[in-house]
Amino acid sequence: MDIFTVTGIVLIVTIFLCLYRVVRGPGACNRLIAANTIGTKTIVLLVVIGYIYGRDIFLDIALAYAMINFIATLGMAKYLEKGCVC
């Protein structure tokens, strides 16, 4: 196993740890941060997969997903700021 495969496996394990925080989080703000962290780790995982397979399309997908993740995080933060107490 090379270093990129190990990195991918570690990222998947930490994504599941963050998923636990999303499901069982103590508050809405902690859940939002954990969901944003899952999105960021997914972007890094897509880049690592793209490097392993030698395909540039994974980088384009990661970039598009990063923009969607950023906009969704801003939307959820604005919603939590108006209607929910963290």
- Concatenated DSSP letters of 46-63: HHHHHHHHT-THHHHHHH
Which tens digit of pLDDT belongs to each residue from 11-34? 999 999 999 999 998 888 888 899
Q: How far from the centroid of its chain's Cα atoms is residue 50's Cα? A: 16
- For residue 4, the SS3 value is helix
Q: How do the pLDDT tens digits run along the chain, 86 residues long?
A: 789 899 999 999 999 999 999 999 888 888 889 999 999 999 999 999 999 999 989 999 999 999 999 999 899 888 888 876 55
List the Cα angle 50/68/71 in 5-degree steps: 145
Dist. CA 43–CA 24, nearest whole Å: 23
- How many domains, in total, are found in the chain? 1
- For residue 85, the SS3 value is coil
Domain residue limits at 48: 3-83
Q: Any idea what the CATH number is for the domain that residue 68 is in?
A: 1.10.287
